[in-house]
Chain A
Amino acid sequence: MAHLESKYVEAPCAPAKPAQSGKAARRSFWGSLLASDTYQAVVNVLLKNERRQFWVLAAFPLAWVFFAHLGPILQMFWISFLDSYPPTAGRQPQFTLSNWIAFFQEAIFVMPFLRTLIYSVVFTTCTLILTYPVAYFLAKHVKRQNQLLFLLLLLIPFWVGEIVRTYAIMIMLGNNGALNLALKWVGLIDRPIPFMYTGFSMGVGIVYLTSLYMLLPLYSALEKIPNSYLEAAADLGAGSWHRFRKVTLPLSKEGVASGCTLVFLISTGYYATPVLLGGPSTTVFAETIAGFFHVAGDKWPIGAAFSSLMLITTLGVTGIFLKLMGRSGKGMMK
């Protein structure tokens, strides 16, 4: 070990020689920063002890999430109980329940609300049925090294925004659209079927927009199921339907639950898609709410009340749904 005789010990970090010049004499940015008195003075105040460090780090995130994330929602609730907003000069807004009561007095309010809920449930179910086999195919039949490629193929369309994809569906379903053309060409119809501006066109659009949010949770849940489970079930003589019912479905439950929750929440929140693809008979609650914000500002409290109602309902529905899934999931485990 010849290297051990190096002069290492005799030259431990010699003090800076003044002769050094140019680049060699320069300190690094961080070194100079740490050496600066101003910085040290600031740091001594900011990072004095663990407790202060925590608060220096925590203050901004806490302020941001409670102000910007929760604030708007709370303010919306608050305004839903005022008789006018934005406040007009010289008049103090009064507390009222009339904005909430207004909802129940008019069928043109109640109907879109119920329609939204029913549509969303139906669309969510359709998305689930459509994407489950796709996710299953991806997770269980595609070779592992190809899965990324297959998944990527599915992802590409989803980077394209809501409006562009809605427009694509309009082209597809129009009276002179591709679907009618195809049907005519096959000879099923003579005259184009008016797909557009119906619940159907809206459904096709929303399923198109949301299917990825179902597919990804399903895929990741299914992918986690070890193949040995299915083989074991087959070994015990379970038929493929039985295997699916008793093994695959219960084990992918978590994916189903989170996929359905996501799709439900997202589909209730669409505005442009129902406007563009739906018709007068398919008005959804988002359009009703938006109506109060197009016109004069004094309708804002009603809009706020309706938004709050919808928020509570959607979160309530998903809450109940998740609870049911959780409970039956435990039941199945036994």
Chain B
Amino acid sequence: MTRHTRILMSVIYWAFIVYLFVPLVLMVVMGFKDSKFIGFPIRGWTIEWYTGVMQDAEVMGVFAYSMAIALASTLLSLVIGVWVACFLGPYKFRGKLIVFAVTCLPAVIPGIISAIALRIFARGIDIEPGMLAIILGHTVHNVPFVALVVMARLSTLPRSHIEAARDLGADAIVAFFRVTLPYLRPALIGAGIFCMLLSFDDFVRAYFLGGYDPTLPVLIFAKLRSGMSPEINAIATVVLVLTAVLGLWAERSMRRLNKGAS
């Protein structure tokens, strides 16, 4: 590789970083602008928009609603995902590949189609649009990710650990709770935070499965349709900070997981 291409490459990398960060930085900056109008030039600064959002009962209610959905669907996804992984990981049986493909299905279907299919499905099993339907939708979407992460971790668990537990008097159930589950802990933390992010950030499923109460992304979408305003920037910035923190935490725990596996 010549010097020139090396320099060119690093320029492209940093340009890409700029492309990724500038819009987000601008969004945050605009949230401090002392004007209702989004755009340049900026003549004055204020934190009014942020304090306004913090005092806005509607926004805070929506925030709590989104959080509740994220927590519930994450918990469900973890339980189901672990169960699926513990079945699909170690056992060999005919048709395993089909079951695996069906498990991964929700992760590869384009968002809008998944949302529509779940909307029809929820109607079919008599779940009204609303919190329950969104939780179901997010759980279906998250289970493949949990299952994949847990299966990866599970494959590094030496069989002898389970056998040792059995040998010392544990039946299959006790061995699972006392040996397998603690071993999966880092994977569960990582996958859990990832599920929280997916659920908290999701728009399309929440939009089609939701009732009258919007989730945070749906609220931002609705507000955007009636025009941009620094208030939206403030909400979006809060979401951004929260997700970035969650993401960094997930990253850290996954990193530790990889270290533990090696």
Most buried by A among B38, B112, B120, B251: B112
Confirm or deny: B173 has a beta carbon within 8 angstroms of a beta carbon on chain A. yes
Q: Are B239 and A134 in contact (CB under 8 A)?
A: no
Which residues in B have their C-beta under 8 angstroms from that of A276? 221, 224-225
Q: Are B27 and A167 in contact (CB under 8 A)?
A: yes
How many Å lie between the Cα of A43 and that of B108 in the bound state?
A: 38
Which residues in A have their C-beta under 8 angstroms from that of B84? 61, 64-65
Q: Could you tell me the distance in whole angstroms from the C-beta of B113 to the nearest C-beta in chain A?
A: 5
Confirm or deny: A272 has a beta carbon within 8 angstroms of a beta carbon on chain B. yes
Which residues in A have their C-beta under 8 angstroms from that of B105? 65, 69-70, 73
How many Å lie between the Cα of A240 and that of B84 in the bound state?
A: 47
Q: Are A160 and B201 in contact (CB under 8 A)?
A: yes
Give the total number of A-B pairs whose CB atoms are below 8 A apart: 266
Which residues in A have their C-beta under 8 angstroms from that of B103? 61, 65, 69
Report B204-226 CB contacts with A as 1/0, cut-off 8 Å. 10011000000001001100110
Confirm or deny: B152 has a beta carbon within 8 angstroms of a beta carbon on chain A. no
Q: Are A71 and B87 in contact (CB under 8 A)?
A: no
Q: Are A47 and B172 in contact (CB under 8 A)?
A: yes
Binds A, one of B13-21, B47-55, B153-161: B13-21
Q: Are B111 and A271 in contact (CB under 8 A)?
A: yes
Which residues in A have their C-beta under 8 angstroms from that of B174? 30, 33-34
Interface majority SS on B: helix, strand, loop or mixed?
A: helix
Q: Are B9 and A65 in contact (CB under 8 A)?
A: no
Report B75-102 CB contacts with A as 1/0, cut-off 8 Å. 0000010011011100101000001001
Number of interface residues, chain B, beta carbon within 8 A:
93
Q: Are A131 and B243 in contact (CB under 8 A)?
A: no
Among candidates B113, B123, B172, residue contacting A310 with C-beta atoms closer than 8 Å: B113
Q: Are A53 and B112 in contact (CB under 8 A)?
A: no
Q: Scan residues 43-78 of chain A and give those whose CB is less than 8 A from a CB of chain B.
A: 43, 47, 53-54, 57-58, 60-62, 64-66, 68-73, 75-76
Q: Are A177 and B117 in contact (CB under 8 A)?
A: no
Given A134-B13, A266-B111: A161 in contact with B201 (beta carbons within 8 A): yes
Q: Could you tell me the distance in whole angstroms from the C-beta of A190 to the nearest C-beta in chain B?
A: 15
Q: Scan residues 149-186 of chain B and give those whose CB is less than 8 A from a CB of chain A.
A: 169-174, 177-178
Which residues in B have their C-beta under 8 angstroms from that of A271? 111-112, 115, 203-204, 207
How many Å lie between the Cα of A55 and that of B84 in the bound state?
A: 13
Which residues in B have their C-beta under 8 angstroms from that of A154? 16-17, 20
Confirm or deny: A269 has a beta carbon within 8 angstroms of a beta carbon on chain B. yes
Q: Could you tell me the distance in whole angstroms from the C-beta of A47 to the nearest C-beta in chain B?
A: 6
Confirm or deny: B148 has a beta carbon within 8 angstroms of a beta carbon on chain A. no
Q: Are A269 and B109 in contact (CB under 8 A)?
A: yes
Q: Could you tell me the distance in whole angstroms from the C-beta of B262 to the nearest C-beta in chain A?
A: 14
Confirm or deny: A176 has a beta carbon within 8 angstroms of a beta carbon on chain B. yes
Q: Scan residues 26-51 of chain B and give those whose CB is less than 8 A from a CB of chain A.
A: 26-27, 30, 37-41
Confirm or deny: A169 has a beta carbon within 8 angstroms of a beta carbon on chain B. yes
Which residues in B have their C-beta under 8 angstroms from that of A76? 113, 116-117, 120-121
Extra inter-chain contacts (9) besides given A61-B99, A167-B233, CB under 8 Å: A64-B84, A79-B120, A137-B9, A156-B247, A178-B23, A266-B110, A269-B111, A304-B116, A314-B110
A-B pairs with beta carbons under 8 Å apart, 8 shown: A33-B174, A47-B171, A65-B143, A156-B244, A165-B24, A171-B23, A171-B26, A269-B113
Q: Interface of B with A (CB < 8 Å)?
A: 1-2, 5-6, 8-10, 12-13, 16-17, 19-24, 26-27, 30, 37-41, 80, 83-84, 86-88, 91, 93, 99, 102-103, 105-106, 108-121, 123-124, 136, 139-140, 143-144, 169-174, 177-178, 197, 200-204, 207-208, 217, 220-221, 224-225, 228, 232-233, 236, 239-240, 243-244, 246-248, 251, 255
10 tightest A-B contacts by CB? Answer: A269-B110, A176-B39, A161-B201, A159-B247, A269-B111, A168-B23, A72-B121, A72-B117, A137-B9, A286-B112
